[in-house]
Each structure stands twice: as C-alpha cells, then as structure tokens.
Amino acid sequence: MGIVLDQLPGCAKPLPGGQFLLTTTDYFIDLGRKYSLWPLTFGLACCAIEMMVAYAGRFDFDRFGVIPRPSPRQADLLLIAGTVTKKMAGPIVEIYHQMPEPRFVVAMGSCANCGGPFHDSYSVLKGVDKIIPVDVYIPGCPPRPEALVYGIMELQKKILKMKIAKGGGATPQQEKGSRDLTGNGSNGGQV
Amino acid sequence: MNKEALIVSEASMHTDTMFLNMGPQHPSTHGVLRLGLTVSGEVIAKAVPDVGYLHRGIEKLMETRTYNQGVVLADRLDYCSAMPNGLAICLAAEKLMAVTAPPRAQALRVLMCELNRIASHLIFMGTYGIDIGALTPFLYAFREREMILDLFEMCCGGRLTYNYMRLGGVSNDIDDNWIAKCREFLEFFKPRVDEYDTLLSFNPIFRSRTQDVGLISAQTAKAWGLSGPNLRGSGVNYDVRKSDPYCGYDRFDFNVPLGQTGSCWDRYYCRVQEMRQSVRIIEAALADIPAGEIMAKGLAKIPKPPAGEAYAHVEASRGDLGVFLASDGNAAPYRLHLRAPCFINLAVLQEILVGNKVADVVAILGSFDIVLGEVDR
Amino acid sequence: MASTKDAALARLLEHLSSAEPAAHPIKDYPTVRLSDPAEITKAAAFLKDELGFDYLEMITAVDWLGPMQLDGLAAARTAAHPFKETPLKADPPVTPAPGAGAAYRPVLDLLWSFGNLRENLKMFLRLEVPRDQAEVASLTALFPAADWQEREAFDLLGVRFLGHPNLTKILTTEDLAGHPLRKDYAHQKDRFDE
C-alpha cells in the first residue's frame, strides 16, 4: 500500500485519463482501508469493557473488518476508550506517534470527549482532543456497543472521502497537526 | 588451543540484569497498569508496579457531590461490578442516618449484587483465558454476560454503570416478567458453569500454566491485606457476607469456596465456584421477594446525614470494599475514603512476582482480577 | 486471644498509657483514640501479637480544617464552561457542626483499622496529628499491607510515615504540587489545563 500511495499520484497524472484512474484508485484504496481498520487494544476505563463486548459474539466487530492488534506499530485506529488522566496523557501521545500513517482516533465515551463525570477533577484531562486530533466522538457514559459500531461506521464514511491527491492520505485533522505536549514542540510543552 | 579456556563457567560469566517495562499500554494488564520488571535472564529479580494512570480523584470529587450523585461516581470505580460500589456508600450513609432500606429493597440489592458478581467473574474468566492463550472461553463468557446485562437493562436501563442504589433503597422495582426472565437465565446458566470446567478449568494446558504458579501462602495473603477470592484462594475463610452480614445476607444459605495452595488456579477456581454459589443465592432470593416499598419513607430529596463517622463494607466481586464516611451534616460527604480491594490486592505483586519467570507474569497478574478504576480511584 | 470486642478493647486500653475509648466512635465499631503518636507501633504490635488482629484493613486520615476550598475546582469549572457554574454543593452556607467529632480544627485525624479474621472482630485506632507537622511511625515492618496505603495517605493527604522504606508519590503525577485531599488544596494550572 505504501508503494501505491507514494508512486501512484505521480505516475498516474501524466497518463491520458489519469484523472479518471485517480478517482477510482481513491475509491479502491479507501475501500480497502475502510474494511480493514485495525484498532489498538487499548482500554483505559469503563468504556473498555463495552469495547470488549463489541468484539464478542453479540455485536461481532469482525464483520466490519475491525480486528484488534496488540501493538501500535500494527494498528491504524486508536480507540480511546475511557478517562484520560494527566498521568496517562504522555503515554497516549507516545502511542499515537508510534502508529503508522494514516491513523485515526475515535474518542469513545464522555470522558474521552470532554472529561465526562470527572470534568472538574484535578487529575483528569478534559478531552483527549487536547493532546491528539480526534476523528469521531462517541458520546455516552459508557456508550453502548451499538454506538461504538455506529461510530466506526461514521469513520468508514469519513475514510471513503479521503483523496490520495490531497495530503497523501492524511485526514484534515492530521494536516492541522497535533498539539505536541512532549515538550519538544513549539506550541506546547511549557508548563 | 587449550580446550578448557573455551568453557565458560557460570561463575566466571558476567551477566547483567535487564529492565523490562510492561505497560501502561499492554493487552494483558487489564487497563493502564505499568510494571517495572528487573529481569535476570528469564527470572524476575524485582517488580515495581506503577499505578495512578487512571487516578481520577474520585475521593475528592465525592466531597463536591451529594450522596446520590456520589453513587454515580462510585459506579465508575470497579466498572466490572458496579452494583456493590454504590451499595457500600449507601450503607455507610444509612448507618449515619439510622435508616434501613425496606425489605424488598434489601432483597433487590442482594439480587443485583449477586447477578453482578456473576457478570464480573465471567469477564474475569474470559479475559484470563485470553491472557493464557485460550481465546474461545471469552466468547462463551460474554454470551452469558450479555444475558445478565439484559436483565439489568430491563430493570434500571444501564448496561455497565447502573446508578441503581439509592440512599434508603433502590431506584427501580422489578416485575413478574423480570423474575421469569431471571429464572430462565439461571436455568440456562447452571449447566454452563460445568461447561466452563471442561472448556477451561480442567484443561490440561490451562492447568499447567496456572497450577503451582504465583503461590501465596495464607500468612502472606493476610499480611498483605488481600481480600476476596484472592484471599480465599489461599485458604483463608473471610467473606464479609458471612462475617459482617448486610442487606440480609444471613438469610441465605451459601458456601464460601476456598482454595488449597493459593496458586493462580486456586484463585481462578474460587471465582468459578462463587458463580455457582451466587446462583444459589439468586434462586433463594427470587423464591421469596418481600412485597412493599423499594425506598425508605421520610427521606429528604437531598439527604443530609447527621455529623459523625461511619464505616460500612461489602463483599464486592473483587474483595472487601469498605467505605469510611465522615459527615459534617451537609449534603455532601465531608470525607469519603474507599478501601479499594484491588489497590490493596495489587501491592502483593512486588513480593510474589520475584523469582517467577517472565512468561508467568501475565498469568499471575491476570489471576488477581484487578480493575484499574478501583486501583487508582 | 480476646473473644469479644469488649474484652479486646479492655485489654488494649490496659496495655496503652495514652489510649482511651473515642468519645465519638465510628458507628458500631470499637474505636480507640491515642493521644501519644509514639504509641501507635506499640498498639499495632500488641493488637497483632496478643489479640490476634493480624489483618490491617485500612489506613486513612481526615483533614478537619473545615469545608473544602472550591477555588481550584471552581476555577477549573469556569474555564471549562464560559458561564459561571454554581458549585453543586450549593446548600445553605456550611454551619460548623460541633459534636460527633466534626468540630473544625487544624488537625489530620489518622485512622487505622485492624481485623481479627479468626474471631471476626474489628478495631479502629485514631490519632490526631497537627496539619503542619503530620508525622507518625510507619507500620510497614509489622504489616506489609501498610506499604501502599501509607504511600497513598502521603500522596493525597501529606502524612509522613517515618520509617517507611519507599515513601513516594503513588497516585498523582510528579508535577502535582500539594496534597489533593487536604481541604485547603487549591489546584494550580498545569500544562493540560486551559
């Protein structure tokens, strides 16, 4: 896939009818991407249990091509399922940067969206979008597995709109860039 | 060349220990636990659990919430079995207010706590199987768990966080339809437990991975303050339901399953047997649910327990969950401390992991059935 | 060995010079209040060795300074929401409720809970230490269970346990200043707060 992404826009454009080819290639690549979303098995809190239920028999995430991977190097979807605390923020940014592009983030549950019932706590981050860009937000405390399935379907719709000619497969959020909180970046890191 | 110069004796060989980081993102830590392992070859020389990655400040937040709002936060402590958490807080506040829940509410509390215990142990069974490498029991366990969640949903609308316990009673009543459904589930579930035995419990591979691994003597278990199946797996007979009965647990006839050696398998099998005992309790409770109210009469909408201190503890799915409550007469607790069983159970890891093989770390850690929401609070 | 809670209480009181039954016990459980911080190790050892209380259940403390300062929390709320949110604890102003041990005073009221599993007994020990010099002997040598619980009390309440082998933060982040469960804790903005 990487070779296709790197080489295809350049070699397809000069061809007669290359524009036509490009559109279908977009569709072709996005179709593959859409149905092979491999999330990282990464449970933070309560929502992780509902995430596990979604993998089990009743809701059967495998139907959507969602197969959990234990390593961020193999994953392309980061499911933030649970409360993100300030102590956990650093590892999450690190895991996010370990994932290969294009990567997607789904914030599952109120805690990952905005802090949820712990929004006024001294140790809870008020939404994971403060540290990494988020593609889909799923509300609920915790969201039902159906809601998670719906969120994944929305992400699939979003993936279908990706164009390799624009930004080489990065989502709009990724083009904006994430706030770097590891202390090395320019717009974050200072206490 | 001198042949003997090539032979390296173990004494002359210089070996270094290695630091191995496990977590906070690791598929087998059941959340965000981090273990700092110092390994000497394959053997663990030092283990330092690092917790706090899910510290949400619940004890502080409780001081800004009313008691019934506090139950909402308590549900998110041990999210695998949320019912007993709220119950402990309600019991402590009820002690201060000298309120007793009506008999029907007490029966419902027992019913829900025991159903939740089964659901929680099923999660344990499924995920522990995955930790060891048996993927199928997960699918079986979650099938049965969904049935329990459907019962909860029928009763109070929640699948995972129920917010069911109220100060002075419970929030929703059950009807005959629910009771029929619950009986149906029990009939379905009873043979399933035997099926788990054939699937996982007495599976030779599973047994060889867990038996004689992670041994905890009764003395060590008591000294480290373990509770719940982790303590009973070592053969110490301590169950809050028996020693300090609440909500009329003394009405029910059930056994406390005990382990022999305190191995991972003993802790595991204690939980499987507890499921059988929970079924017994539920059957007895269903047979005789008192009629009447589900909330104590004469309670204010926002209850304000009088000034004073109280301690209440319940046998949650993971052990002795205690709530120490100091009230100054306001609508919010002045101070609420949670004796979180998982937090105290986890501390023993630094002692028992030493000397074990790296491959057994996951088996030992999994057998403790920790929930990080409760460890870090 | 003590057979009843009254017998255990009587023997403990007899053994300690500075102990007396608490004026406001924790509901339904025998509670002993110590006045001499040096006696806690002696009391715990006696409970463990003589009376069979070999199960340390809980270590915690209460900060009796007064109602909580909502400053840090309220500021966080108004930052999160543009409108001023009234704190949830918006009942009539707190009236100091004297009696039942709830009189506000600048002390940390420490609490230990011991269990005797064989005879099904439970005993609470209380000890008041000044807030600015909250120090007490550690029980880690007697009960390994004290290890993490003392670290937690140190982290969240700022009680220093003398003789603890590794008294470091356990739950909060390294850069969090102060002890969150103290009543005068005001949250200082860190890099994650807006």
What residues of chain A lie within 8 A of the CB of B53, using their CB? 85, 87-88, 91
User: Which residues are CB-neighbours of C53 under 8 A, at least 6 positions away?
Assistant: C8, C47, C114, C115, C116, C121, C123
- B-side interface with A, Cβ within 8 Å? 24-25, 27, 30-32, 52-58, 60-61, 64, 72-73, 76, 79-80, 123, 126-127, 138-139, 142-143, 145-146, 159-161, 372-373, 376
Give the pLDDT band of residue C69 (cuts 50, 70, 90): low
Residues of chain A with pLDDT below 50 are 1, 172-173, 175-191
Spatial strand order of the sheet with B319-327 comes to B308-316, B319-327, B335-339
For residue B177, pLDDT over 50 is answered with: yes
Interface contact flag, B243 C120, Cβ < 8 Å: yes
Give the A:B interface size as CB pairs under 8 Å.
95
The amino acid occupying position B128 is: Y
Nearest residue to B49 via CA among B319, B348, B368: B348
Which H/E stretch holds residue B141? helix B136-156
Whose CA is closest to B207, among B261, B259, B264?
A: B264
Three-point CA angle B340, B343, B347, nearest 5°: 145
Measured between beta carbons, the chain A residues lying within 8 angstroms of B161 are 46, 141-142
Residue B283: other Cβ atoms inside 10 A: 16
| A89 vs C180, C187, C192: nearest CB | C192
Chain C residue with Cα closest to A125:
C192
Residue C69 in contact with partner chain A when CB distance is under 8 A: no
The proportion of chain B whose per-residue pLDDT surpasses 70, expressed as a percent, equals 96
Pairwise CA distance, residues B183 & B186, whole Å: 5
What span, in angstroms and rounded, lies between the C-alpha atoms of A34 and A169? 13
Neighbouring-strand partners of residue B313: B322
Q: How many CB pairs under 8 A join B and C?
A: 139
Q: Taking 70 as the threshold, does the pLDDT of residue B148 lie above it?
A: yes
Q: Does C187 touch chain A if contact means CB atoms closer than 8 Å? A: yes
- Separation between Cα atoms, residue B228 and residue B210, nearest integer Å: 19
Q: What is the average pLDDT across B290-302? A: 84
Residue C159 near residue C136 (C-beta atoms within 8 A): yes
Most trustworthy range by pLDDT among A45-54, B4-13, B112-121: B112-121
| CB contact set of B134 (below 8 Å; sequence gap of 6+) | B199, B200, B203, B205, B206
| Chain C contact set for B324 (CB, 8 A) | 26, 58, 60, 111, 113
pLDDT tens digit string along B200-210? Answer: 888 888 888 88
Question: Of A60-64, C83-87, C118-122, which gets the smallest average pLDDT?
Answer: C83-87
CA B369, CA B158: separation in Å to the nearest integer? 23
Q: What is the DSSP string of chain C?
A: --SSHHHHHHHHHHH-SSEEE-SS--TTS-EEEES-GGGHHHHHHHHHHTS---EEEEEEEEE-S-SPP-HHHHHHHHHHSSSPPPPS--SSPPPP--STT----SEEEEEEEEEETTTTEEEEEEEEEESTT-EEE--TTT-TTHHHHHHHHHHHH--EEET-TT----SS-TT--S-TTSTT--PPP-TT--
Residues of B in contact with C56 (CB under 8 A): 225
Mutation choice for A interface testing from C88, C152, C191 by most A CBs within 10 A: C191
What gap in Å lies between CA B301 and CA C173, rounded to an integer?
38
In this prediction, residue A188 carries a pLDDT of 36
The span from the CA of A55 to the CA of B27, in Å, is 14
Assigned token pair, C190: 């860190």
What rounded mean pLDDT belongs to chain C?
Answer: 77
The pLDDT assigned to C78 comes to: 40
Q: Chain A interface residues facing chain B, Cβ-Cβ under 8 Å?
A: 40-46, 48-50, 52-53, 56-58, 70, 72, 82-83, 85, 87-88, 91, 95, 117-118, 120-124, 141-142, 144
Q: Which of C89, C112, C182 has the most B C-beta neighbours within 10 Å, making it the best mutation to test the interface with B?
A: C89
Q: Which residues of A touch C73 (CB under 8 A)?
A: 120, 122
Portion of chain B with pLDDT greater than 90, in percent: 20
Q: Which of C26, C69, C104, C128 to mutate to test the interface with B (most CBs of B within 10 A)?
A: C26
Burial of C104 (0-12, 13-18, 19+ CB in 10 A): middle
Mean pLDDT for chain B?
Answer: 87
pLDDT classification of B120: cutoffs 50, 70, 90:
very high
Mean pLDDT score, B343-361: 89
CB contact under 8 A, A191 and C80: no
A136-138 and A104-108 beta bridge pairing:
parallel
The answer to whether the Cα torsion of C139, C145, C54, B93 is positive or negative is positive
ipTM over 0.85: no
Identify the chains in contact with B, defined as 3+ C-beta pairs within 8 A.
A, C
Distance from CA of C13 to the nearest CA of B (A): 21
3-state helix, strand, coil in chain A (%, to 5): 50, 10, 40
CA-wise closest residue to C3 among C125, C118, C124, C123 = C118
Query: Are the beta carbons of B90 and B314 closer than 8 angstroms?
Result: no
Contacts of C157 in chain B (CB under 8 A): none
Q: Where are the alpha helices (DSSP H) in B157-263?
A: 176-196, 204-210, 218-223, 229-232, 240-243
Which chains neighbour C (Cβ–Cβ under 8 Å, 3 or more pairs)?
A, B
